[in-house]
Chain A
Amino acid sequence: AQSVTQPDIHITVSEGASLELRCNYSYGATPYLFWYVQSPGQGLQLLLKYFSGDTLVQGIKGFEAEFKRSQSSFNLRKPSVHWSDAAEYFCAVPSTGRRALTFGSGTRLQVQP
């Protein structure tokens, strides 16, 4: 069954530093991959998604993610973090047989001034 693993529960970075959030997937075929962000007290918002083609995907808010089939990874990156990026980030893949998403357990990002 398809699944995603986010190895880091909690990450703290300084404002202006670079960021990489890890996501490893298990998927039978060519994967569709998503990153969502949940700001405090808010619902989830799509940051970016990968279906096929270029392995480097650009998203909103200056985020990007790189699909690496050899490593089964889809890590999220941002070159310079802003305090407003403090949130929880979820990687997701489609569930089999129904229009749902299987989410990772999330990574909470804290940004230090």
Chain B
Amino acid sequence: GAVVSQHPSWVICKSGTSVKIECRSLDFQATTMFWYRQFPKQSLMLMATSNEGSKATYEQGVEKDKFLINHASLTLSTLTVTSAHPEDSSFYICSVISGTGYGYTFGSGTRLTVV
């Protein structure tokens, strides 16, 4: 299966600042990547679908202007949390579809803490 690298694994930022999270597909050209958010004891919630070379598709209730997604190449998608607030503190995870489209590989996740 695909190998997905997510960076950073954890980050602490001040309220009002922006944070960028990177998701790289190391051995597979990923035309589609997914960004999830997971709160403690909750399931993974899909935030957006990132398509290479086009605008991301956001799920209902996810602010496009707050969570900026850029998928500029087949191996890299970035999620930028703009003007972060404490309520944005969460575990963010990216995923790629590998192979036939039925396999999904996840990154190791990024723990964001906004203080």
Do A and B come together as binding partners? Answer: no
Q: Could you tell me which B residues sit within 8 Å of A by CB distance?
A: none
